[in-house]
Amino acid sequence: MPVPARCAPLLPHAAILLVVAFGTTWGISAKSALDVMPATDFLVFRYVLAISMLAIPFLLRRHFRRPGPHERRAFVIGLFDPGAATLLVFFALYYTTAVNAIVIASWLPLLSTIGAWWLIGEKPALPVLAGALLGLLGVVVLVSDDAASGGSIAGDLMCVACQVILAGSVALMRRINQEVGDPLRVATWQVAGGTLTVIVVSLIDAWINGRVWLAAPPLDGWFLIVYLAVFLTAGAFWLYNFALRYLPTARATLYGLLGPPLSVPLTALVLNERLTWIDLTALATVMVGVALPALAAVVRPKARS
């Protein structure tokens, strides 16, 4: 069934919003999985299952071909994002607080704007920059209640390194998706690169710690692995690469600022915590920041007329 023409421009935005919505459950799901298995083993199971799912359409269609230059570039980028970036986040949380990690992650729209300008010559739009700054302010306000000490320079630097990697990779993947036009193929090669990085690091970790590699997880661990592999890895990278074909880098990453505000109500619901006026004010600030580019696009034609 063809997509109505009036709905087609909304699909990239809907794809990003789905990724953000699934991402709000990442912290709870990942923490639960790490309670029953080592971090690197968990990541290996997650990424191997994800790459297997992404490869199924090509296996069913018997659509095999040698990787071209764009696929090879996506694979190399995947070694760093999701590969190295995911590992940095997990290791950083051993040394810093979740609050610090959230605040540093909120830099991504600004960093990706700089990365896109530098790497692919994509000039930022003023409403997007203003929205990113406003959203960053909202996230800082959101976590201000919990900003007690407990972080470390080492952990914070890992988070910063992760965001720098993400900013560069999103810009480069934007250009690849514009030129290839096949987000499923691009996502498959990108996740394949990340899978290789995770497997290598997991083998090294098992050897250093003298433990069995990939010990079978319990049943509840498998449920978490399947959920994260299907929705937060295979599905998320496919949808994100689809969106990057149509949306500028800064605009795509701007939606990521919705993650912390959406996580707050979810956490309050699951953990039976109360929402404060600070939480609600911060949530509204982030929402306005994310919506600012769309509002500017609506106001601009009216002003011209």
Residue pLDDT, tens place only, 134-156: 777 777 776 665 555 455 778 77
Cα–Cα distance measured from residue 142 to residue 26, given in angstroms and rounded to the nearest whole number: 18
**Over 80: is that where the pLDDT of 96 sits?**
no
Segment among 110-124, 185-199, 211-225, 252-266 with least mean pLDDT = 252-266
- Chain position carrying tokens 């109360």: 274
Q: Count of CB atoms within 10 A of residue 284's CB?
A: 12
Place of tokens 């297997």: 52
pLDDT of 240 higher than 80: yes
How much of the chain, in percent, has pLDDT values that exceed 70? 79
Least confident of 7-11, 73-77, 95-99, 195-199: 95-99
Taking the C-alpha atoms of residue 28 and residue 193, their distance in angstroms, rounded to an integer, is 26
CB atoms within 10 A of CB 161: 15
Separation between Cα atoms, residue 141 and residue 277, nearest integer Å: 11
At a CB cut-off of 8 Å and minimum separation 6, what does 64 contact?
A: 58
User: Which residue, among 197, 186, 3, has the nearest Cα to 86 in the 3D structure?
Assistant: 197
Which pLDDT does position 267 carry in this prediction?
Answer: 58
Burial track 247-264 (b if 16+ CB lie within 10 A, e otherwise): bbbbbbbbbbbbbbbbbb
Tokens coding 210: 């003298």
The count of other CB atoms within 10 Å of the CB of residue 64 is 7
Share of the chain above pLDDT 90, in %: 35
Q: Which residues contact 143 (CB under 8 A, 6 or more apart)?
A: 99, 102, 103, 260
- Asked whether the predicted pLDDT for residue 210 surpasses 90, the reply is no
What pTM, to 2 d.p., does this model score? 0.85
Express each pLDDT in 72-87 by its tens digit: 999 999 999 999 999 9
Please report which residue ranges of 79-210 form alpha helices under DSSP H. 85-92, 98-105, 108-119, 126-143, 153-180, 183-209
Name the percent of the chain in helix, strand, coil, to the closest 5: 80, 0, 20
Q: Which long-range contacts (CB under 8 A, 24 or more apart) does 207-212 make?
A: 211/38
* Domain ranges within the chain, ordered by starting residue: 26-304
Q: Would you say the C-alpha torsion 274, 277, 280, 283 has a positive or negative sign?
A: negative
